[in-house]
Amino acid sequence: MKAISDPNAAAAAAVAPDPFAADRDQLRVLTCGSVDDGKSTLIGRLLLDASLVFADHVEALARDSKTHGTVPGDIDPALLVDGLEAEREQGITIDVAYRYFGTPRRRFIVADTPGHKDYTRNMVTGASTSDLAILLVDAGKGLLEQTRRHAFLCSLLGIREFVLAVNKMDLIDFEERRFQDIAEDFTEFSRRFSACRVAAIPTSALHGDNVVRRSARMPWYRGLPLLEYLETVVMDERPGAAPLRLPVQYVSRPNANFRGYAGTVASGTLRKGMEIMIPRTGVRSRIAGIVTMDGELDDVSVSDAVTVVLADAIDVSRGDIISSTEKPPQRADAFAAHLVWMSAMPLLPGRTYLLKAGAQTVGATVTS
């Protein structure tokens, strides 16, 4: 509660670590899990206890808590991220709420997603761009169907780092055995995921136990509190290890002397001078230049938006892929896949659908 008692200090601390400073790496974090397990409360508590909330926001939060809060006589941290009127009326998260902040160690983008099964599609939206998932579990309820569903969807979307936040430990008297049982249950469930890592942390988001600082009420837990873990967790440091894939979104032809191919690097590393190929035609060329908002660069990697200039005038158009020559993408007219199907209408074999692959849209039929 120190962030509330000293709002001026909170404001000063909030502006000190610039969340957009480029001198620290960035971690995209997702909170997920079943409804009412404390996702929004956890993020709100983290921001408050780390003094990352401006003084006027703290004052507004105190006012809103009197009307919409669920904590009698105190502030409700969840209201920092649950801003929609419908969310406050129902006490649940409906839409994805993004929060941007930074500490001296790392920059963060946190996506707080809904736990209710009717809004699973919104959770998938947040997970699609995240590096790490904080999966909340109510210590009294344990792993629920929606908990497992969210974990499975995160795995399908490529998330390999999980923090199992066993929340509401205060409601079970901070019992170590209960925490261990839940952690073991999830570890066993996660064995079906591909190469995932799980860190289990016992928390009480409402009271701040093991969120920013280690809790004195759980001396048996010797690990890091949540924020410190997020600041120090080592992610995959080889983002360019995968083969190059650059879907062409736009052909830039401002004059007769320039032809560039714009897109966002989906995987791998792109370097000036490297040999590339266009899988559709099999034609090869070399990268003559890489143009970005920061000027011309010698190399770029995953998620960088670029315009590349090729050494040869070859046939390249929107929908094509610029790839490495060593491991070009396979071309096929049939494949098997796991789909996250979010329509209220069922997926029907024999029906033709539109399939978007990179910047290209083609017709596709489900066979089974």
Please state the pTM of the whole predicted model.
Answer: 0.71
What is the number of structural domains in the chain?
A: 2
Could you tell me if 210 and 94 lie in one domain? yes
pLDDT at 173: 96
Q: Can you read off the two tokens belonging to residue 359?
A: 């910047």
**Which residue has better confidence, 315 or 63?**
315
Q: Average of pLDDT values for 218-238?
A: 89
Question: Residue 267 maps to which CATH number?
Answer: 2.40.30.10
H/E run at residue 296: strand 295-296
pLDDT at 210: 95
Q: Strand pairing partners for 324?
A: 276
| Cα 64 from Cα 57, distance rounded (Å) | 10
pLDDT at 80: 60
Could you tell me if 202 and 320 lie in one domain? no
User: 113: closest CA among 211, 30, 226?
Assistant: 30
pLDDT band of 57, cuts 50, 70, 90: low
Could you tell me if 206 and 285 lie in one domain? no
Q: Average of pLDDT values for 202-220?
A: 93
Least confident of 64-73, 184-193, 264-273, 342-351: 64-73
User: 299: closest CA among 268, 263, 323, 266?
Assistant: 268
Could you tell me if 270 and 160 lie in one domain? no
pLDDT at 38: 83
pLDDT at 170: 93
Instruction: Please give the distance of CA 3 from its chain centroid, rounded to a whole number.
Output: 27
pLDDT at 251: 94
Could you tell me if 43 and 65 lie in one domain? yes
| Cα 236 from Cα 238, distance rounded (Å) | 6
User: 111: closest CA among 121, 119, 122?
Assistant: 122
pLDDT at 17: 46
For the chain, the average pLDDT equals: 83
pLDDT surpassing 70 at residue 12: no
Least confident of 42-46, 83-87, 215-219, 330-334: 83-87
Q: Is residue 343 part of a domain?
A: no
**Which residue has better confidence, 34 or 185?**
185
Q: Is residue 196 part of a domain?
A: yes
Least confident of 53-62, 110-119, 200-209, 350-359: 53-62
Q: Average of pLDDT values for 20-49?
A: 80
Q: Is residue 355 part of a domain?
A: no
Domain region containing 287:
245-324
pLDDT at 84: 38
Residue 110 to residues 145, 270, 345, 362, Cα–Cα distance (Å): 24, 28, 31, 34
Percent of the chain with pLDDT over 70: 80
pLDDT band of 5, cuts 50, 70, 90: very low
Question: Residue 174 maps to which CATH number?
Answer: 3.40.50.300
Could you tell me if 203 and 288 lie in one domain? no
pLDDT surpassing 60 at residue 3: no
pLDDT surpassing 90 at residue 310: yes
pLDDT at 61: 56
Q: Average of pLDDT values for 355-361?
A: 86
| Cα 219 from Cα 242, distance rounded (Å) | 43
Percent of the chain with pLDDT over 90: 50
**How large is the angle between the packed helices 120-127 and 145-156, nearest 10 degrees?**
40
pLDDT at 4: 39
pLDDT band of 55, cuts 50, 70, 90: low
Could you tell me if 152 and 286 lie in one domain? no
**Which residue has better confidence, 203 or 236?**
203
